[in-house]
């Protein structure tokens, strides 16, 4: 005896409800995977690409473009002209208080990872897209201070800085392949 497939010409309400339930569940499942996949992509990938740092201290808000850590590896000596071609570290400072604020920018040297003495490092600084300063050596006696400045109260504009550093070719020591690590610190003080 052969079994025949039942063909429903006039389906009952129960059969229609069953078919609709499968369709709705399929659409819900597809929508869930679509939303989950796009949400995952939106949340995961921008965090991997954008690594900025924002710090708020006594009256001063500082936004670093990437991070406040300087890590230079496999270094070689450079002339001032070559050093000025390096990629700049960037950050912005804004006063959010009602009083003028004095701020100081300095480097905190990470001695554990640094094989090149800071006295061999030259730097140049640019403020608000102005002229770059003349290249100078880092000064340990001045606690590696780069800038002392003041910012007016509730200045809606950020003061933007760019900072380049390199190993000077004026140094007699052999430093090829060495490393240098430091943090850029911005400290605010009420005036």
What pLDDT digit, counting tens, does each position of 120-129 carry?
A: 889 999 999 8
pLDDT digits (tens, 9 = 90+) for 28-46: 877 766 666 655 444 444 4
User: So what's the pLDDT on residue 44?
Assistant: 47
Please give the backbone phi and psi of residue 47, each rounded to the nearest 5 degrees, phi first. -65, -35
Q: Residue 189 belongs to what H/E stretch? A: strand 178-190
Residue 118 CA to residue 120 CA, distance in Å, equals 5
In DSSP notation, 49-108 reads H---EEEEETTEEEEESS-SEEEEEEE-EE-HHHHTTSPPEEEEEEE-SSS-EEEEEEEE
User: So what's the pLDDT on residue 39?
Assistant: 52
User: So what's the pLDDT on residue 131?
Assistant: 93
Counting as low any pLDDT under 50, the low residues of the chain are 40-50
Q: Is 48 within 8 Å of 162 (Cβ atoms)?
A: no
User: So what's the pLDDT on residue 123?
Assistant: 92
User: So what's the pLDDT on residue 150?
Assistant: 81
Residue 121 CA to residue 126 CA, distance in Å, equals 17
| Side-chain half-sphere CA neighbours of 49 within 13 A | 6
User: So what's the pLDDT on residue 50?
Assistant: 43
User: So what's the pLDDT on residue 152?
Assistant: 76
DSSP bridge pairs for 27: none
Q: Domains of the chain: which residue ranges? A: 7-50, 53-190
User: So what's the pLDDT on residue 84?
Assistant: 93
- Among 14, 60, 37, smallest CA distance to 187 is for 60
Residue 136 CA to residue 10 CA, distance in Å, equals 91
């Amino acid at each position: 005896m052969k079994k025949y497939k039942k063909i429903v010409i006039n389906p009952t309400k129960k059969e229609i409800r069953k078919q609709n339930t499968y369709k709705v569940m399929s659409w819900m499942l597809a929508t869930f995977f679509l939303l989950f996949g796009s949400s995952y992509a939106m949340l995961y990938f921008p965090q991997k690409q954008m690594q900025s740092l924002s710090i708020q201290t006594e009256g001063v808000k500082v936004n670093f473009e990437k991070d406040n850590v300087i890590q230079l590896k496999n270094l070689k000596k450079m002339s001032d002209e070559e050093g000025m071609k390096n990629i700049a570290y960037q950050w912005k400072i804004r006063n959010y208080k009602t009083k003028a604020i004095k701020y100081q920018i300095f480097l905190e040297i990470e001695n554990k990872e640094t094989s090149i003495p800071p006295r061999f490092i030259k730097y140049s600084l640019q403020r608000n897209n102005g002229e770059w300063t003349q290249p100078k050596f880092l000064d340990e006696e001045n606690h590696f201070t780069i800038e002392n400045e003041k910012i007016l109260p509730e200045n809606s504009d950020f003061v933007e800085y760019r900072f380049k550093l390199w190993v000077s070719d004026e140094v007699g020591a052999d430093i090829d392949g060495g490393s240098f690590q430091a943090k850029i610190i911005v400290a605010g003080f009420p005036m």
